[in-house]
Every structure is written in structure tokens, then in C-alpha cells.
Amino acid sequence: MRLHLLLTAAAPLVLLCACATRPGGPGPTAANDLSPGSSSYGMYLAGQSALNSGKNSDASRFFDQARVGAGGDPMITERAFTSAVLAGDIQKAALLAPTGEEASEASKRLGKLVVAVEALADGKGREAKAGLADANIAFPHKPAAALLAPWAAAQAGDVNGSLIRPSVRGDRLVDYFGQIGQASLYERAKRYDEAETDFKALAQGGNPTEMAVLAYGEFLERRGRKIDAVALYGDHLVREPDSIAVKAARARAQAGKAAPPLPTIREGAAQALLAPAASMISAKQTSLALVYLRLLLRLQPSRDEAWVMVGDLLLTQGDNEGARAAYGRPKAGSNEFGAAQAKLAWTYQTANDKEGALKVARIAAQTGDRDARVTLADLLRADERYPEAVQVLDPLIAEAKTPDWRLLYSRGVAHERMGRWPEAQADLQAALTLRPEEPELLNYLGYSWIDRGEHLKDAMAMVEKAVASDPHSGAMVDSLGWAYYRLGEYKTAVGKLEEAIELEAGDPEINNHLGDAYWKVGRKDEAQFQWRRVLTLKPDDKIKASAEAKLASGLGPDGPTPKLADK
């Protein structure tokens, strides 16, 4: 499911941290065998370091060892509980849930929610229902408890209680997910007319979400109304032609295959937890978002889009290993497999394992997933494998029902780097026709013309427009400075290129340009300093050769243009 539409509906929240750590709170005490020389103290410090670094699984293991060694110290137990939740070990977390007076209020509130979810996961509906009714599950977990309560009632056999739609004042995501849940629970109670009323209200209107369309369509399939389901799916694909899940649903219904079964109670409860997770992501409360996703996956470990979201959150916390494990969970053939593998590939690319990244990206692209194929093209471009990137982009561009400026831009860049300027210019101009105000396009095409000495006045106007849109982009200010240089306005060029250096001090091309401009205004010592600096900034072969030639000849930019050897 794609959550971007849901996230825009999330109301901003000021959240309490669910973490057990209390700023300024007491540290480990010698009375509990946590003196600096003890192994328990070492485990505690290792756990705290791991938790601060986003290594939740390591933190859980260290804190648990410290807890055992310290004889169940309440503060360390609280840390062990928090890290177990974040690591996804909900069974252990439920056993460690803090209840004593020494525990923080935030941890006790979270503990009650964790215990209730564990009861749901174990099929103990009555315990879950009682726990979720506890008034102590308050802010910030009240929406989660409200959404889970009907599913706990259903598991406890309380049909009437399961049909009460949850509501939290001002929370539109609770309203939305509560109605989806109510529709499913009406269907479970065989009250089909009321179920369809809810499903239809969610799936019709201006711009229904993929989740709502799938839920209603699957209901129609289960009711034997496959023609209606196919029409519903088709209408959505007119609006969102790249929806893999809806494409698969339409193909299934058209082929007359069996309808998906009614979601189980655990699956329905898991879906309900997407709402608080979305709220926390929207509010940039990544730890709380991760908590809700871990609880969701305890209820439904096969929920692939939740694993992708977990991977995204772990990546932002610096846990590359955990992110890779999460991205690796979706199974081949699932709707999320291609996107998950594409994200997995980027984790290798950012770690400078280019071959590993391409290996994963190629596997993802073989699924046919459009985003995965775009990712492969982007990685090939990043690795300067431009002909291969073009081979991937050509069919993507040909298959598109409507031209995509981003794909044209990407192919234009690849053509330009391959020295195929006519093809590059055609793609870049086509992209700019589709997106005439896009700063990146204006800058790239404008700079390319400037660098080639072509259409200088038009190029200057384009780059000026790009800089006005993004005045803090060093690359764009550099393009403007280089345009002045090409027009012979060297003094103005120096000012703009110095401004670009302030924005992007480590960019070798900007430093190279500034050296050229300094030379033209007679500041030759400063020019040579800039070119020497270029050589320390990992320039590409072309920029490196340019700087070395200017330093060697003593003639600066007025000397011979270096020739690059064929590779």
C-alpha cells in the first residue's frame, strides 16, 4: 500500500518520547552490581551506546544481559523493555513491561499497549480487550488502543463491541482506519449491506487510496461480483496507472481466480496499526513509528509494506544492517518485492559496494517493477555506465503512456556524458517542455549550453531562473558564474563563483572554475591555489586533467586543452 495520501492527512502532534531513558535520571548504581569494573556495568554501557546508535537488536541483547547480572534493576529493565520493542522482540518486551513506581510514565503507557498486542497475537482476546480498555493507555498511544479495541472485542467474541467505530477527537487517520476496520468487522459479522456502505464510502469520491480500493474490490470479489470489482480496479488504474497491487487484483478478478479471504482478526488489527505509524512518520517521531510497526509485524509478520517502512526508518537511524534485513523480508513475487530490492540496492551503493548494489538492482528490475528499473538506471548512471543506463531507460520511456520528464532528463544526462550531444539536447529540451519551471532541468541544459559556448544569452536566462528558484544550490550558482565567465564578464564571474564555493566548498568543478576566473582577473597565485585544491577533492578524470594541465603549462586556462586517453 502507498501511504503518501494518508500521511498528508495526519494531524501534527506534539509527542512524548516513548523511550525509557530519562534526561538527567539516575545512572547505574553500585548497589546493583553495576560498578564501573563489573561486567553488568559494561553490558549497560554497551547497551546504551547501541541504543543511541540505532542498533536496537544489539541494545536489547546488552541490556538483557545487564538486567540479569544486576538482579532485575528497574531502570535497566526499563531500558531492556524499550530496546526489545524497538528490536521487534515483542514477546520478550511484554514480559519486561514496566509497572512499578520507579518506571517512567511513558514506558508504563507503552508497556500496557505492548502487553495488549501480545495478548492479541496469542489469541487471548479477553485479556487484550481488558488491557486496551485501561485508562492508562493514554497519550500518545490512545489512537492505537482505540483502533485495536474493536479487533480485541471480536477476538473475545463480543460482536456488538467489535462493531463500534473507534474515534479520537481531531484524528482523521483514526476515522479513516476505523471505518476500514468497521467495514471488515461488519463483513465478519455477515452484515453485508452495512459493510458495503462503509467500503463504498471509502473507495468512491475524488481520489480514494489504494488501500480503500483494494478493500472494497476484494469484498466485491468475495460476494461474487467480479465484474463490479474489475470496474473498480480499472477506474483506479486510470488515476494511478503504476499501482502494482491494483493491477494484480484486476488480473486476478478478470481471470476468475479465487477471491482473497476475509482478513483474519490479527491481520485486521495489524492494518489498524498503520494509522498511528503513519501519524508518527508524519510528525517525524521515528522511534514511535518504529514501535508501532514492530507491534504490527508481531500481529502479521508477512505484511511486506510494513517491512519496507521499517527498513526506511532503520536507515534514517544509521542501522544499515537492520535496514537490509528488513528490505530482504518481502518475498519474490510480492507487490513490494521490487521496491524493497531497489531500496536494498541503494544501501550497498551508499556503502560504496557498487557491484553489490548492481547485483541486487538487476534482480529487482527483473520483476518488471517500474521503480526498480528506474533505480537500476540511476545506479548505472551513478557508476558512469552510461550505455547500460540508456539501455534500461529506452524501454521505460517507450512504454510510458504519457512522457515522464524525469526519465527523459535521466537519459539526456547519460547521452551528454557519453558525448552524444544531439540526443542529449533533444531529451533535455523534451523534458523542459514538459516541466518548464524545473530548476534542475533549467540548470543542466543551461550549463551544458554555457560549457559548449552555445546559446549563451538563452542559457544565461535559464540559469538565472534556476538560481532564483534555488539560491542555496552551489551547483546552480556555479552555472551562473560560469555563464558570466563564458561571456567575458570575469569580475562578475569571480563574485558568483566565490558565492558558489561558500555553498559547496568541496566541489572540484566549482573550485576549478573559480581558479580560471581568478586567472582572468590577474589573481594568478589564487588561481594556482584553487587548481591545486581541485586535485585534493577527488575530481573526475576530465577535471583532474584540466587542473594538472593549467598548473604544468603556467599558462592557466589560456594554455592547451588536455586530451584524455581513450579507455
Residue 13 dihedral angles phi and psi, to the nearest 5°: -130, 145
Domain boundaries, the chain: 30-138, 438-558
Name the architecture of domain 438-558.
Answer: Alpha Horseshoe (1.25)
CA nearest to 180, candidates 207, 218, 123: 218
Question: What confidence score (pLDDT) does residue 494 get?
Answer: 97
Query: 474 and 504 in contact (C-beta within 8 Å)?
Result: yes
Planar angle of CA 181, 187, 188, nearest 5 degrees = 85
Helices (H) and strands (E) in the chain, counts: 32, 0
Question: What confidence score (pLDDT) does residue 178 get?
Answer: 95
CA nearest to 423, candidates 382, 389, 400: 389
CA nearest to 434, candidates 395, 471, 407: 407
pTM of the entire predicted model: 0.79
Domain 438-558 in the same topology as domain 30-138: yes
DSSP run (H or E) holding 537:
none
Name the architecture of domain 30-138.
Answer: Alpha Horseshoe (1.25)
CA nearest to 319, candidates 327, 103, 177: 327
Residues found in the chain: 567
Question: What confidence score (pLDDT) does residue 456 get?
Answer: 87
User: Which cell is 53 given?
Assistant: 546508535
Query: 218 and 260 in contact (C-beta within 8 Å)?
Result: yes
Question: What confidence score (pLDDT) does residue 26 get?
Answer: 38
**Gap between the Cα atoms of 547 and 543, Å rounded:** 6
Query: 171 and 157 in contact (C-beta within 8 Å)?
Result: no
Question: What confidence score (pLDDT) does residue 563 get?
Answer: 59
Question: What confidence score (pLDDT) does residue 548 get?
Answer: 95
pLDDT digit string (tens) for the chain, length 567 residues: 333 333 333 332 222 333 433 333 334 443 344 443 458 888 888 888 888 888 888 988 999 888 888 887 888 899 999 999 999 999 999 999 999 888 899 999 999 999 999 999 999 999 999 999 877 688 899 999 999 999 999 999 999 999 999 988 888 889 999 999 999 999 999 999 999 999 999 998 778 999 999 999 999 999 999 999 999 999 999 998 878 899 999 999 999 999 999 999 999 999 999 999 999 999 999 999 999 999 999 999 999 999 999 999 999 998 999 999 999 999 888 888 988 998 999 999 999 999 999 999 998 898 888 888 999 999 999 999 999 999 999 999 999 878 999 999 999 999 999 999 999 999 999 999 999 999 999 999 998 998 898 998 899 999 999 999 999 999 999 999 999 999 899 999 999 999 999 999 999 999 999 999 999 999 999 999 999 999 999 898 889 999 999 999 999 998 877 655 443
Question: What confidence score (pLDDT) does residue 170 get?
Answer: 86
